[in-house]
Amino acid sequence: MTAKKGSRASHRSKAILYQAAMLFAVTSGSMPAALGAVRTFVGTDGLWSDPTNWNPFGVPAANETVVLHAGTNSSVTITYDNSVTNTSFFSLQIDSMTGPISLVQTENTFSTSSSETVGEFGTGSFSLL
């Protein structure tokens, strides 16, 4: 006996198939890693480690995309300081069409698992001190 289209049994069958497919995908490793938030620096200048400098609020975490741009400010300098505890991100973009933006790395290391882009659509700079 087969379930009629639109019946409760039909919905239950679809739910079971969906759950089985998701279980297979998770256990076989075929699902991509979940990506985190896109965090944009909104401070006028300041420390990377200051959570109030980011939108949404909070210092960038692992698997998150980091966007640095000057926005409405004439120029912005962001200091990647030694109090940063997470040093691995999904991607980093340093770019501005409204004014120069600089990322100054004074301590620690950082890495991205996808890409780093500096100055693709405007000005941007990255300095190691």
pLDDT of res. 91: 92
Fill in the DSSP letter of residue 111. E
pTM check: above 0.85: no
Pick the closest to residue 59 from 27, 77, 37, 76 (CA basis).
37
For residues 3-14, average pLDDT: 55
| Nearest-angstrom CA–CA distance, 49 and 118 | 20
Expressed in angstroms, the distance from the first to the final Cα of the chain is: 73
Tell me if residue 119 falls in helix, strand or coil.
coil
Residue ranges covered by each domain of the chain: 1-31, 38-128
pLDDT tens readout for residues 29-49: 433 445 689 999 998 889 999
pLDDT of res. 49: 93
Distances 110 to 70, 76, 81, 84, 85 between C-alpha atoms, Å: 21, 20, 11, 10, 10
